[in-house]
Amino acid sequence: MESTTSIIPPEGMQLVYERPKALVDVHTHYCPGCTHGVAHRLLAEAIDELGVREKTILVAPVGCSVFAYAYFNTDGCEAAHGRAPAMATGIKRIDPSRVVVTYQGDGDLAAIGTAEIIHAAARGECITTLFINNAIYGMTGGQMAPTTLLGQKTKSSPMGRDAKIAGLPIRMSEVLATLPGSAYIVRRSLHDVNNIRKAKKAIVTALKAQINGLGFSMVELLSSCPTNWGIPADKALEWVEENMVPYYPLGDYKVIEAVKSL
Amino acid sequence: MAKEMLKGNNAIAEAAVRAGLEAYFGYPITPQTELLEYLSKRLVELNRVFLQAESEVAAINMVYGAACAGARVMTSSSSPGISLMQEGLSYIAGSELPVVIVDIMRGGPGLGNILPSQGDYFQVTRSAGHGDFHPIVLAPSSVQEAIDFTILAFELAEKYRHMVLLAADGQIGQMMEPAELPPMRPLMEKRPDWALTGAGDRPPNIISSIFLVAEEMENYNKMIQNKLKVIRANEQRWDEIYTEDIDLLVVGYGTAGRIALTAVEEAREEGMKVGLLRPQTLYPFPDDRISELADYVDSVLVVEMNAGQMLDDVRLAVGGQVPVSFFGRMGGVVPMPDEIYNAIKEAYTKTTAHKAA
Amino acid sequence: MIESFLFSGFGGQGVMFAGQLLAYAGMDTGLETTWIPSYGPEMRGGTAHCFVVLSDKPIGSPLVRNPKTALVFNNPSFEKYDPLIKTGGLLIVNSSMIVQSSNRTDITTLNIPATSLADELGSLRVANLIMLGAMLAANHIIRPEDLKQALADHIPAHHTDMLGMNYAAVDLGMEHAVQVLAR
Ligand SMILES: Cc1ncc(C[n+]2csc(CCOP(=O)(O)OP(=O)(O)O)c2C)c(N)n1
Ligand code: SF4
Q: Does ligand 2 have an atom closer than 6 angstroms to the CB of A218?
A: no
**Confidence at residue C42, expressed as pLDDT on a 0 to 100 scale:** 47
How far away, in angstroms, is B37 Cα from ligand 1 center? Answer: 15
**Confidence at residue B94, expressed as pLDDT on a 0 to 100 scale:** 97
**What integer is the mean pLDDT of C7-33?**
93
CA of B29, closest atom in ligand 1: 6
Coil, strand or helix at B53? coil
Residue A32, chain C, CB below 8 Å: the answer is yes
Q: What are phi and psi of C137, to 5 degrees?
A: -70, -25
**Confidence at residue C43, expressed as pLDDT on a 0 to 100 scale:** 46
HSE, CB side, 13 Å, CA atoms: give it for residue C137. Answer: 26
CA quadruple B201, B202, B207, B211: dihedral positive or negative? positive
Provide the edge-to-edge strand list for the sheet that holds B23-26: B49-52, B23-26, B73-77, B100-105, B164-169, B136-138, B281-283
CB contacts, 8 Å: B35 with chain C: none
Q: What are phi and psi of C84, to 5 degrees?
A: -95, -15
HSE, CB side, 13 Å, CA atoms: give it for residue B15. Answer: 26
Chain B residue with Cα closest to A110: B54
Give per-residue pLDDT as tens, C161-173. Answer: 889 999 999 999 9
**Neighbors of chain A by Cβ distance (3+ pairs < 8 Å):** B, C
Please report which ligand is nearest the Cα atom of A65.
1
Residue B10, chain C, CB below 8 Å: the answer is no
Residue A6, pLDDT above cutoff 80: no
Give per-residue pLDDT as tens, B71-87. Answer: 999 999 999 999 999 99
Between C156 and B348, whose confidence is greater?
B348
CA distances from C13 to A19, B43, C77, C158 (A): 35, 33, 12, 18
Query: For residues C113 and A28, what is the distance between their CA atoms, to the nearest angstrom?
Result: 33
Provide the pLDDT confidence category of residue A17 given band limits of 50, 70 and 90: confident
Residue C174, pLDDT above cutoff 50: yes
Give per-residue pLDDT as tens, B193-244. Answer: 999 999 999 999 999 999 999 999 999 999 999 999 999 999 999 999 999 9
Give per-residue pLDDT as tens, A38-73. Answer: 999 999 999 999 999 999 999 999 999 999 999 999
Residue A225, chain C, CB below 8 Å: the answer is no
Rg, C-alpha atoms of chain A: 18
Contact indicator for B128, B92 with CB cutoff of 8 Å: yes
Domain B4-234 identical in fold to domain B239-356: yes
Return the CATH class of domain B4-234.
alpha beta
Task: Kindly state whether residue A203 falls inside one of the protein's structural domains.
Answer: yes
Task: Kindly state whether residue A49 falls inside one of the protein's structural domains.
Answer: yes
C108, β-bridge pairs: C90
Task: Kindly state whether residue A232 falls inside one of the protein's structural domains.
Answer: yes
Query: How many distinct structural domains can be found in chain C?
Result: 1
Q: Does ligand 1 have an atom closer than 6 angstroms to the CB of A125?
A: no
Q: Does ligand 2 have an atom closer than 6 angstroms to the CB of A65?
A: no
Residue B111, chain A, CB below 8 Å: the answer is yes
Residue B30, chain A, CB below 8 Å: the answer is yes
Choosing from A108, A140, A228 the residue with most ligand 2 atoms within 8 A of its CB, the one to mutate for a pocket test is A228
Residue B325, pLDDT above cutoff 50: yes
Provide the pLDDT confidence category of residue C154 given band limits of 50, 70 and 90: confident
Residue nearest to atom 8 of ligand 2 (CA): A34
Please list, in sequence order, all residues whose beta carbon lies within 8 angstroms of the beta carbon of residue A74, skipping any fewer than 6 positions away.
A22, A47, A53, A56, A57, A58
Q: What are phi and psi of B341, to 5 degrees?
A: -55, -45
Query: For residues B199 and C64, what is the distance between their CA atoms, to the nearest angstrom?
Result: 59
Coil, strand or helix at C69? strand
| DSSP output for B215-226 | HHHHHHHHHHHH
Rounded to the nearest 10°, the torsion over CA A154, A156, A161, A162 is 160
**Confidence at residue C158, expressed as pLDDT on a 0 to 100 scale:** 86
Provide the pLDDT confidence category of residue A1 given band limits of 50, 70 and 90: very low
What is the maximum span of chain A, computed from C-alpha positions, in angstroms?
64
Give per-residue pLDDT as tens, A218-242. Answer: 999 999 999 999 999 999 999 999 9
How far away, in angstroms, is A138 Cα from ligand 2 center? Answer: 5
CA of A31, closest atom in ligand 2: 6
Query: How many distinct structural domains can be found in chain A?
Result: 1
Provide the pLDDT confidence category of residue C77 given band limits of 50, 70 and 90: very high
| CB contact (8 A) between residue A156 and residue B29 | no
Task: Kindly state whether residue A4 falls inside one of the protein's structural domains.
Answer: no
Which of B345, B288, B340, B346 shows the shortest CA–CA distance to B314? B288
Residue A135, pLDDT above cutoff 70: yes
In chain A, what percentage of residues exceed pLDDT 90? 92
Can you say how many angstroms the Cα of residue A118 is from the centroid of all Cα atoms in its chain?
A: 16
CB contacts, 8 Å: A155 with chain B: 33, 37, 40
- Average pLDDT of every residue of chain B: 97
Check residue B28 and report its DSSP letter: -
Check residue B203 and report its DSSP letter: P
Which of B93, B260, B102 shows the shortest CA–CA distance to B169? B102
| CB contact (8 A) between residue C33 and residue B178 | yes
CA distances from A196 to A30, A31, A60, B343, C138 (A): 18, 19, 21, 58, 57
Give per-residue pLDDT as tens, C134-144. Answer: 999 999 999 99
Task: Kindly state whether residue A86 falls inside one of the protein's structural domains.
Answer: yes
Which residues form the domain of C102?
2-182
**Whole-structure pTM value:** 0.94
Residue A81, pLDDT above cutoff 90: yes
Contact indicator for B171, B4 with CB cutoff of 8 Å: no
Chain C residue with Cα closest to B172: C36
Return the CATH class of domain B239-356.
alpha beta
Between B121 and C44, whose confidence is greater?
B121
Please list, in sequence order, all residues whose beta carbon lies within 8 angstroms of the beta carbon of residue A235, skipping any fewer than 6 positions away.
A226
Provide the pLDDT confidence category of residue A3 given band limits of 50, 70 and 90: very low
Residue B260, pLDDT above cutoff 80: yes
CB contacts, 8 Å: B3 with chain C: 27
Residue B46, chain A, CB below 8 Å: the answer is no
Contact indicator for C11, C132 with CB cutoff of 8 Å: no
Check residue C9 and report its DSSP letter: E
